[in-house]
Amino acid sequence: MMGKANSRRSTSSQASSKLSTASRSLFSKSSPKASASGAGNSGTSESPVSARTSLLNVLRRPKSSHAITSVTSTNASSKHGQSFDSFNEDDYSDHGSTVASSYASSIRSSWSSRSSSSEDIAKRYENYLETPFVNTTTTIKHSEYGVCTNPNWRWTSHWDPAEPVHPEEEPQPPYYILLSTYLSYLLLIVLGHIRDFFGKRFLPKAYAHLVPHDGYAALNSDFDSFYTRRLKMRLDDCFSRPTTGVAGRTVVCYDRVSHDENNTFQLTGTTTRALNVSSYNYLGFASSSGPCADVVEASLHKYGVSSGGLRHDTGTTDLHEQTEKLVARFLGVESAYVCSMGFATNATTIPALVSKGCLVISDELIHASVRFGVRISGANVRAFKHNNLKHLESLLRESISQGQPRTHRPWKKIMVIVEGLYSMEGTLVPLPQLLELRNKYKFYLYLDEAHSVGALGPNGRGVCDYFGIDPREVDVLMGTFTKSFGAAGGYIAGTKHLIDRLRVTSHHMTYAEAMSPAVCTQIIATMSAIMGVAPPLASPPALEEPNDASSIVSRASRTFNYGPVPSHMLPSFMKLPQVVLNGLDGRDRLRRIAFNSRYLSSALRKLGFVVYGHRDSPIIPLLIYNPAKMLLFSQMMLNRFGADKTPIVIVVVAYPATPLITSRIRFCLSSSHTKHDMDMLLRACEEIGTLLDLKLAKQTMTVEQVIASAEELVASTHV
Amino acid sequence: MSSAAGASTSHHGSNSMEVPAPLLPLLSILSSLFLNLSSVFHRIPGSPIILRYIKSSYQDDPYRSLLEVLLVAFAIRTIFKGRTGGEGQGKSFIKFSEKEIDELVDEWRPAPLVEELEESDIQTLSSVPTIHGPGGTHVKLSAGGKSVLNLASIDWLGLVEADQMKQTAIDTLKEYGVGTCGPAGFYGLLDVHLRFQSEVAEFLGTEDAIVYSQAYATTASVIPAFAKRGDIIVADRGVNFAIQRGLQISRSQIRWYAHGDMEDMERVMQQVEKERKRKGGKLTKKFIVTEGIFENDGMMVDLPKVIELKHKYKYRLMLDESHSFGMIGAHGKGVTEHYNIPASEVDMLIASMANGCAAGGGFCAGSSVVCSHQRINSSASVFSASLPAMLATTASTALTVFNNQPELFNALQANSLLFRQILNKLEPTPFSVPPCDPAYITPSESMPPPAVTNNEALIHIPSHPQSALIHIFLLNPPSTLQEEEAMLQDIVDETLNTSQVLVTRARRLRGQEGLEPEPSLKICMSSNFTKKEVEKAAQALKQAITKVCSKRR
């Protein structure tokens, strides 16, 4: 095991110290305004007030014409706020509030007054990532799941018809940015070719794998690997940074250096703990301690690590069956099965659903695993423009009327494959309209909820829950456990008939290893935390309703009722604490991620950044366009020059995952983040975004204004 | 340009006689517009030069001007056509009116999403056992039931039950949690992954290794990461399902050779060479894809010969050791150790961490170029969350067991031999104990089965004597695959019901496999069984086979 010196790095490099002086002057310029706005809004965050009064404060402010909808939604959350308040009484109202608010106000004053030096702030933030502001009794570490007890910082994720699901037009950057981006790539490509030209002649060893030698053809195509060698390698410091421990609210990264232009990296032996806005840990269930980890430990004692072999041999244990029943119950469908890898779930199931003579129409931005599966299936494939249902409809009309290519025979079946939440865009699928199309054109709908399940909807059931649609409307539901549940693998869910048939025909069931019992337990524990567990004596509400296959329309209009899981469905060794059993912990997690997502997304827009996606999406892409800025942004976030000096790790996404020019930063938010974490992230974006000229849209608020009016931003129906 | 203007005015003039009066203002507007345009054009700096150039080029070479005009027209057409080819294009496209399309949409009746369950499917589902409680050599098939002897789980060294594996997992849990919540590129690359990669590379003697999160996906993804359209793959006909899917995805040209037949392999390679010489063309990548211990029948590859041919014809070798890693060789390094061939001779060595290591996931070992290529280009590595930390650490623990307890491998082979000797009574030819020479190749490796000498023979076992994965084929199977599988299922049930020994039959997706493998019984040996247990299991199976086969006669 490598040495673990949890030293926080002092920013020592020349570049960052230069930058830090620049930033200080930036902050001192903006701070007077900020203090003014902070004072005006002190009621919400400084004095220990109840959830209701603070929400009323928000509501009393002048509102736009959308006030009515926001009133109803905030009313709903204030009700929840009350119940939450009582549950967390010890934490919040006894000692927590005073400590928290004094701490918060001290931070606020230090940010706003010029007199306090940046050293003071740095000192105050020294243990920010590991020690919470308040004393808590929770067993979960603050570094994995942040302590955040203020009930105002909660939101319920649900569809508001007043907000468009998908904006008609993506925001466009100014022309000079486009031009400079194209020029950068042109320069990189020209330089790359020059280097290749001379390199091949003077350093033949380094190019051995790219040129035929000794009768062997080159292993890698010179042309195919050009992007990787000449463009991506310059950014390699942003990718595959090794980490250790839990990728929770914070993550510990190994520091590394490269002495050969990123060909290889050497670990320096030190580590840096950084705020983690990169991992798909939506509900914060990735943790090494706490109730879920305890249950997994009990399961490891009983079942061990492996169940030994394939599902159809002896890989199926009672734990697998319990997991599958629970997943079906969680999603509100009849049946489900699990697969040991998320990628393989798509890759092994799609070939069992479609074959030659069938047509798959998928969104152009669909995940690689779906493409993999479709290619194995042998079905024909078409793609429609991202979330563009008009284009989908025209494709459908054309495909159905034309039939199969050349023969014009009718298609056996048409399957439309979409994702609930797109992992690079933060956009949601317009599910209600898609279902209308489905009723007209009779295609089958395959919904990949890899990112949305757990992360969206008032009950955390994904996009169906978010839009208030009966999950049984969707023909095939797919999702993964890697993200919201802190486990691994994926599921396929649908009618009993479908799942039984897929158990026989899916490649995974017959040929791939079974899921580890420990992973099954993590899934069971986290799902029951979200659902809540009904006491043994209470009779569980019936899920199946007889004779409802008659009318699809009537089913769609019915709201679906997700109940708690009856305790008899859970393994007997599972002992969960009361706060998890009654579902309050799970509900709190759902509310926290909803607040964080909406807050950061709205705030970044107010600051003038170009942000894609839906405001309720926990995936928030921030556009940066120029390739050189990607590396700078990533490194500046890690070597923060801002006063608090807290490192932040972020993900940069570039071609080929995105179109060439729309390189972006992708924030993945989590319930484990606190509001202070979001504030810090916003300040960091402000510092770096100003320096790198990323605020390409119109800025309407300063960063301190945005932080002060967080609740208002979240409650408003538009940005 | 001025001549063109002149032509237009003369045109205007000649027509003005016949043009009706109301059109005159329109024409005058047109001509004034034209004059304006030409004056604007003249104001552009450099326009006289262009004009002069066009004029002179027209006078010098009128055909060139025509060509240029055509080129411009073509360019404009291409721009407006857009890139969405296939839509409304193609020779067989039929134009319909909107109403016709509506009717066709109404008329279209799609097939059901999945077919009805057939009788055989229901039987397949009902024959899948559920293990209550932990796996291992003894398992329970119902909540309070009696425990049965388990020869159906892949657990070569009895690591499924090992306490040190559990302890490693629990220690890991307390530091890393369960999931990694991200792909390796985005902060999902843990130090435990790096540690396992360097450990396994050192263990095998390769430069580097890369970890995947599922063994099936490893195989199916490594192949297309290297083999592309136009490349040539020479593959064994008996390869497993995951390899077949990888070959399919690669879209390379697949050349099959008869299962385990090295002469046929050479013949295919010679043919490829001949074709290349005849056609010319550029050098393409050539791969051999085969398995160490074949998943479908337990046979072992003749690695020395494969390596020889690989060097002779300049191929790269992809060897799937999913089953042989942790089973074959003095330390479980797989067939390379068995034949005493350095693992670095194999270009891409693919293995499972779920079988031999009793953890989960898979890895590919090879040179550092091979591994770093996969980190960026292999879809199951790039687009999937990384392996849970506890599976990587338990696999590391398994490697330590391999290194420190080679006696386990002796016990495993002794158990396999004992089992084979007992079942040999039902085989056509006498079973010979293989000598310790690593280069030894059993006669069973040369299919088809040898001539029948034992008149009582019922079964045929092609598996390698050292293979802990033992496939039992019926010698005189019923005419259809369904009947044969039903019969094998009868044997499985009979063994379980009379002797409490759990075995399984090889499950297949009929109609999806490349070359339909014959139905077989699948036995997984473990070093954890005592001699007595192995004898009991073998006798039970022998009796069951005899009983079921005699019933049929």
CA distance A664 to A696: 13
Output the pLDDT for position B415: 94
Residue B23 placed within a domain: no
* B513 contacts chain A (CB < 8 A): no
Do B486 and B462 have their domain in common?
yes
The answer to whether the Cα torsion of B62, B63, B64, B66 is positive or negative is: positive
Backbone angles phi and psi of A601, in degrees to 5: -60, -45
Task: Mark yes or no for CB contact A516/B360 under 8 Å.
Answer: yes
∠ CA(B219), CA(B224), CA(B226), 5° rounding?
A: 105
**Which chain B residues are Cβ-neighbours of A481 within 8 angstroms?**
179
Give the CATH number for residue B519: 3.90.1150.10
Does a structural domain hold residue B338? yes
A259 touches chain B (CB under 8 A): no
With CB atoms and an 8 Å threshold, state whether A2 touches B191.
yes
Domain assignment present for B45: no
CA distance A568 to A572: 8
Mean pLDDT, range A334-362, rounded to an integer: 94
Q: Tell me the DSSP string of A405-467.
A: TTT-PPPS-EEEEEESB-TTT-PBP-HHHHHHHHHHH--EEEEE-TTTTTTSSTTS--HHHHH
B174: domain CATH number? 3.40.640.10
Among the ranges given (A66-80, A348-362, B431-445), the one the predictor scored with the smallest mean pLDDT: A66-80
Say if residue B375 is in the same domain as residue B481: no
A504 near B CB under 8 A: yes
Q: Which of B179, B220, B508 sits opposite A286 (nearest CB)?
A: B179
Which chain A residues contact residue B383 at CB under 8 A? 343, 367-369
* Distances in whole angstroms, Cα of residue B29 to Cα of each of B12, B88, B228: 12, 40, 62
Closest by Cα among B505, B510, B483, B475 to B493 = B505
Q: Report all structural domains of chain A as residue ranges with CATH numbers, in order of start.
A: 131-282+589-718 (3.90.1150.10), 319-516 (3.40.640.10)
pLDDT tier at A59, thresholds 50, 70, 90: very low
Which residues, in sequence order, are bridge partners of residue A276?
A649
Q: Is B448 a member of any domain?
A: no
Return d(Cα A334, Cα A312) in angstroms, integer. 21
Is B394 part of the contact surface with chain A (CB cutoff 8 Å)? Answer: yes
Cβ distance of B117 and A485 shorter than 8 Å: no
Residue B256 backbone phi and psi in degrees, to 5: -90, 150
Question: Is residue B299 domain-resident?
Answer: yes
Quick check: A482 and B179 CB within 8 A?
A: yes
Answer yes or no: is pLDDT of A103 > 90: no
Would you call B174 and A288 a contact, using CB atoms and an 8 Å cutoff?
yes
- C-beta separation of B501 from B541 below 8 A: yes
B 459-488 residues with CB below 8 A of A? Answer: none
Q: In this predicted structure, what is the pLDDT of residue A17?
A: 41
> ipTM of this predicted complex?
0.83
Q: Are residues B196 and B220 both part of a single domain?
A: yes
* Cα angle: A567, vertex A573, A577; to 5 degrees: 65
Q: What is the mean pLDDT of residues A266-273?
A: 92
User: Do residues B254 and B369 both lie within one domain?
Assistant: yes
- The reported pLDDT for the residue numbered A307 is 85
Instruction: Tell whether B461 and B492 lie within a shared domain.
Output: yes
Beta carbons of B383 and A368 less than 8 Å apart: yes
Q: Tell me, yes or no, whether B289 and B368 share the same domain.
A: yes
What pLDDT sits at residue A163?
80
Q: Which residue from A minimizes the CA distance to B137?
A: A308
pLDDT at position A93 over 80? no
CA A172 to chain centre: 24
pLDDT given for residue A640 in this prediction: 86
Map B131-159 to HEC letters: EECCCCCEEECCCCCCEEEECCCCCCCCC
- CA angle, A637 then A641 then A642, to 5°: 95
Count of domains for chain B: 2
Contact B185 A239 (CB under 8 A): yes
B177 and B250 part of one domain:
yes
Q: Is residue B34 part of a domain?
A: no
Tell if the CB–CB gap between B191 and A219 is shorter than 8 Å.
no
Whether the CA torsion B278, B280, B283, B285 is positive or negative: it is negative
B121 at the A interface (CB within 8 A)? yes
Enter the pTM of the model: 0.83
- The arithmetic mean of pLDDT across residues A139-151, rounded, is 86
- DSSP H or E stretch at residue B215: helix B215-226
What is chain A's mean pLDDT, rounded? 81
Residue A634 identity (one-letter amino acid) = S
Specify whether B361 is located in the same domain as B230. Answer: yes
Q: A45 — contact with chain B (CB < 8 Å)?
A: no
CA-based nearest distance B270→chain A, Å:
15
For residues A57 and A44, the answer to whether their CB atoms sit within 8 Å is yes
**What pLDDT, on a 0 to 100 scale, did the predictor assign at position B363?**
96
Alpha helix positions (H), B297-434: 303-313, 335-338, 368-377, 379-382, 389-404, 407-423
Cβ-proximal residues to A686 (8 Å cutoff; 6+ apart), any chain: A607, A703
Q: How close B493 comes to chain A (CA, Å)?
A: 13
- Name A357's bridge partners: none
* Rounded CA separation A285/A521 (Å): 13
Chain A residues whose beta carbon lies within 8 Å of the beta carbon of residue B121: 500-501, 504
Give Cβ neighbours of residue B223 (< 8 Å, ≥ 6 apart).
B233, B243, B246, B247, B249, B250, B287, B289, B318
Among B98, B113, B208, the residue to mutate for chain A (most A Cβ within 10 A): B113
Per the domain annotation, does B85 fall within a domain?
no
Question: Across the interface, do A279 and B150 touch by the CB < 8 Å criterion?
Answer: no
Which residue bears the tokens 């080679």? Answer: B406
B300 and B424 share one domain: no
Tell me whether residues A304 and B169 touch, CB distance under 8 A: yes
Tens digit of each residue's pLDDT, chain B (553 residues): 444 444 444 444 444 456 677 778 888 888 888 888 888 888 877 788 888 877 787 777 778 888 888 999 988 888 776 555 454 456 678 888 899 999 999 999 999 999 888 888 888 889 999 999 898 899 999 888 889 999 999 999 999 999 999 999 999 999 999 999 999 999 999 999 999 999 999 999 999 999 999 999 999 999 999 999 889 999 999 999 999 999 999 999 999 999 999 999 999 999 999 998 888 878 889 999 999 999 999 999 999 999 999 999 999 999 999 999 999 999 999 999 999 999 999 999 999 999 999 999 999 999 999 999 999 899 999 999 999 999 999 999 999 999 999 999 999 999 999 999 999 888 888 776 554 444 444 444 444 445 556 777 889 999 999 999 999 999 888 888 889 999 999 999 999 999 999 999 999 888 888 778 889 999 999 999 999 999 999 999 999 999 999 887 6
The predicted pLDDT at position B89 comes to: 55
Any B CB within 8 A of A62 CB: no
CA distance B371 to chain A (A): 12
Q: Smallest Cβ distance to B217: which of A279, A310, A343?
A: A343
Is there a single domain that holds both residue B373 and residue B465? Answer: no
Q: Is the dihedral of CA A478, A483, A484, A490 positive or negative?
A: positive
Residue B50, in any domain of the structure: no
Residues B135 and B259 both lie in one domain = no
- A717 reaches B (C-beta below 8 A): no
CA A83 – CA B459 distance, rounded (Å): 69
Query: Tokens standing for B175?
Result: 């530091």
Same domain for B252 and B337, yes or no, is yes
Range of the domain at B460: 120-158+410-429+454-551
